[in-house]
């Protein structure tokens, strides 16, 4: 499965901001009219119309609520994959039910007041240590709940974690279950994590260990403010290619950044270096012991 960032043509000016394709135009009767523009953007980028994800376009329905619609392409195989992702997410959200650490509900989702975690970290270096530690525990508790329900998220990463403020309280919520798996329900979103959240030494992607490694990287990013082997904001656009090539080689060699001065370094090592945790519940217990 390819995990390189994908550039897509986005078509604006005709009122349909969901139109996009893999470098070749989709049909649009308005495309030759003045004011109709084409932008080439990396999946996951955003603008005022909304955000492009792997399988969907997320747009604001009303204040506090966003909607998800499937991406449209000329490739019927891809369209079928996107449709499957929507079906998987709907059924898994129903199985999960209400939980304070899960973004709910269905394909009309509560809108996080501060967007996803990575953009928040990149834009605010003044997050205090107590809040960072609370966030680590919150997201690990979220994944532990997912595992208890027999679900493997399969794409835990800082762009699938939302930051939501209620009053003076800032909390995290786990989102995006379109690529997840649940063997009991026979559901498979057929996704594995992006770099740097992917364990390059893992071969069984039906195991909770998929998410455990990802959690270790998420904790590292929360506590340090940057990606492994990368300083500053998360790499963007073409820079992603260079970073992913580098981190793939380093992780494949069993290397990880020095954790001696990183809070929760013992837990991160347990997730990403020693691989001693079977599931997120064990990570919760290890984190609580370090709090």
Q: Who wins on pLDDT, 17 or 167?
A: 167
Q: Which of 55-59, 208-212, 274-278, 286-290 has the lowest mean pLDDT?
A: 55-59
What domains appear along the chain, each with residue ranges and CATH number?
A: 113-290 (1.10.510.10)
Query: What CA–CA distance (Å, rounded) separates 161 from 143?
Result: 11
Mean pLDDT along residues 51-80: 58
Q: Who wins on pLDDT, 6 or 84?
A: 84
199 φ, ψ (degrees, to nearest 5): -80, 110
> Which pLDDT belongs to residue 114?
79
> Which pLDDT belongs to residue 25?
38
Q: Which of 74-83, 97-106, 274-283 has the lowest mean pLDDT?
A: 74-83
Is the Cβ–Cβ distance between 95 and 64 less than 8 Å? no
- pLDDT above 90 for 80: no
> Which pLDDT belongs to residue 55?
54
Model pLDDT for residues 160-169, shown as the tens digit of each residue: 999 988 888 8
Q: Residue 204 gets which letter from DSSP?
A: -
Q: Who wins on pLDDT, 97 or 258?
A: 258
Model pLDDT for residues 160-214, shown as the tens digit of each residue: 999 988 888 899 999 989 899 999 999 999 889 999 999 999 999 999 999 999 9
Q: Who wins on pLDDT, 125 or 128?
A: 128
Place of tokens 């997912």: 146
Cβ neighbour number for residue 117 with a 10 Å cutoff: 23
Mean pLDDT along residues 75-85: 73
């Amino acid at each position: 499965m390819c995990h390189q960032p994908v550039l897509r043509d986005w078509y604006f000016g005709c009122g349909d901001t969901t139109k996009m394709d893999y470098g070749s135009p989709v049909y649009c009767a308005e495309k030759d009219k003045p004011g109709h523009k084409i932008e080439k953007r990396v999946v996951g980028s955003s603008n005022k119309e909304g955000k492009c994800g792997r399988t969907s376009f997320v747009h604001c329905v009303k204040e506090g609520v966003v909607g998800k619609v499937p991406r449209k392409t000329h490739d019927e195989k891809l369209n079928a994959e996107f449709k499957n992702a929507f079906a998987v997410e709907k059924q898994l959200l129903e199985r999960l039910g209400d939980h304070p650490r899960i973004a709910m509900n269905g394909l009309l989702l509560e809108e996080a007041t501060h967007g996803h975690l990575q953009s928040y970290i990149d834009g605010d270096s003044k997050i205090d240590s107590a809040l960072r530690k609370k966030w680590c525990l919150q997201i690990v508790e979220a994944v532990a709940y997912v595992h208890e329900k027999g679900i493997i998220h399969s794409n835990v990463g800082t762009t699938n974690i939302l930051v939501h403020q209620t009053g003076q309280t800032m909390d995290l919520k786990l989102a995006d279950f379109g690529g997840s798996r649940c063997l009991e329900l026979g559901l498979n979103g057929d996704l594995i994590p992006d770099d740097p959240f992917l364990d390059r030494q893992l071969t069984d992607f039906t195991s909770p260990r998929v998410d455990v490694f990802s959690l270790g990287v998420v904790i590292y990013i929360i506590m340090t403010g940057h990606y492994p082997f990368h300083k500053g904001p998360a790499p963007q656009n073409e820079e992603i290619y260079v970073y992913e090539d580098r981190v793939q080689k380093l992780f494949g060699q069993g290397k990880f950044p020095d954790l001696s001065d990183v809070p929760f370094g013992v837990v991160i090592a347990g997730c990403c270096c020693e691989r001693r945790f079977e599931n997120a519940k064990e990570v919760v217990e290890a984190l609580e012991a370090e709090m």
